[in-house]
A and B are shown apart, each in its own frame.
Chain A
Amino acid sequence: MKKIAATLALMVLLVSPAWAHKVCMLSSFEGDSITGEAYFSTGDPIVGSPVTVESNGEEIGQGKTDENGAFSITIPKGVLSAKVTINAGMGHVAHEEIAREGAPEPSTATEPQAQTTAETSVPAVSLEDVKKAVASEISPVKKMVMDMERAQSKPDMPKILGGIGYIIGIVGAFMWGRSKRV
């Protein structure tokens, strides 16, 4: 029994911050493109892997991840939902379904009317400037969300210990089942 405990302890110790891989991806609409990041559950970026964007079963764009695992794919106007797929090779694939909710489509047709009243007092602020300002304000928040997602995608100690616990439980159940009833 001592040996078993030692073996288990050793196995747990061996699992330093090195984890196995699962493909993770975060993507969102940004203007008329879809941007995102792809990484393994180790936190390592997925470099140079093909990313495709589908909408209603049709491919509407494709691209590749750069050296930081980031990608940006231009899509046609009027697309409201899309399925983003990354193929990291060797059977490692992840999909994500995204919809344009928080990020309204860039529209240029309806802006002039609203601006006429404001023009008198405030110097004209173009829609582009607003977008840029908002984007730069949001970017730290976005990064935080991504970091949180990243941290969550790593297998953590409770789960590992839980898994080992399950296995011990299964062994116990088996041995109980096979043991001779008194």
Chain B
Amino acid sequence: MHISEGVLSVPILVAGAALTVGFTAQGLRSMKAEDVPATGIVSAGLFVASLIHVSLGPSSVHLLLNGISGAILGWAIFPACVVALFLQALLFQFGGLAVLGVNVMDMAFPGLIFGALFRMLFVSRGKWALLLGGFLCSAGGVILTALMTAGVLALNGEGFMAAAKLIVWAHIPVALIEGFVGAMAVLFLAKVRPGMIGRKQGELL
């Protein structure tokens, strides 16, 4: 899900960078001192998740973990994502520094949206709601990321429908796997650390 360097036109790059700067500033403002370790762990998770690769015929796709990250971090997913993608660009040449803004938006924004949805709609409604919410929001994060990537490529000149179809189809299996991983992660967190998904110990399960 990393758009390569040298694909997008300058206005798109600038817009992506500007949005990312704004959202990241908001993310940093929202972070309290006690949120920092969790942000770091999630950032490390995002950094490594892109290396877990699902081979699917001709295309090659990887886990994103942005939905579950958004559920844990809220706004702080932006700084976490900036750090993770920056290091990926630096160490592995995935994406690149010029497209960092666009790639962060593609990944962190769906995380923010679906994370918020998860906390609003699913968190305090019992075990099955937790599992369902974890699944839907993780899968949703992947699909929205795919759509946003297609949208960016469409703005850049590739036909939206063609690009979107290709990208969304390629990511449906990832969305399913990720939904499963997300549901398990949520269940684990609800048992062990409900504080990480916004609830006090003993309030869930």
Contacts and interface: CB of A to CB of B under 8 A. Distances in A.
Interface of A: 3-4, 7-8, 11-12, 14-15, 18-23, 40-42, 44, 46-48, 89-95, 155, 159-160, 162-164, 166-168, 170-171, 174-175, 178-179
A22 B48 contact: no
A37 B172 CA distance: 29
Interface in B76-91: 83-84, 87-88, 91
Nearest to B53: A18
A23 B193 CA distance: 39
Interface stretch (B37-45, B121-129, B134-142): B37-45
A167 B87 contact: yes
Q: Which 4 A-B pairs have the closest CB atoms?
A: A171-B40, A91-B3, A18-B53, A20-B50
Contact of B163 (A8, A46, A90, A170): A90
Contacts of B93: 22
B88 A40 contact: no
B36 A174 contact: yes
Q: Per DSSP, are chain B's interface residues mostly helix, strand or loop, or mixed?
A: helix
B48 A11 contact: yes
Given A42-B53, A171-B39, A163 B87 contact: yes
B153 A11 contact: no
Given A42-B60, A89-B166, A168-B40, A18 B4 contact: no
Nearest to B46: A167
Contact of A42 (B40, B44, B55): B55
B36 A90 contact: no
B192 interface: yes
B15 to A, nearest CB: 16
Interface residues of B, number: 45
A40 to B, nearest CB: 5
A91 B33 contact: no
Contacts of B47: 163-164, 167
B149 interface: yes
Nearest to A159: B91
B11 interface: no
B22 interface: no
A21 B62 contact: yes
B51 to A, nearest CB: 5
B160 interface: no
7 contacts: A7-B45, A11-B45, A21-B94, A22-B4, A94-B4, A159-B92, A171-B39
Interface string B167-189: 10010000000000000000000
B120 interface: no
Contact of B37 (A40, A93, A171): A171
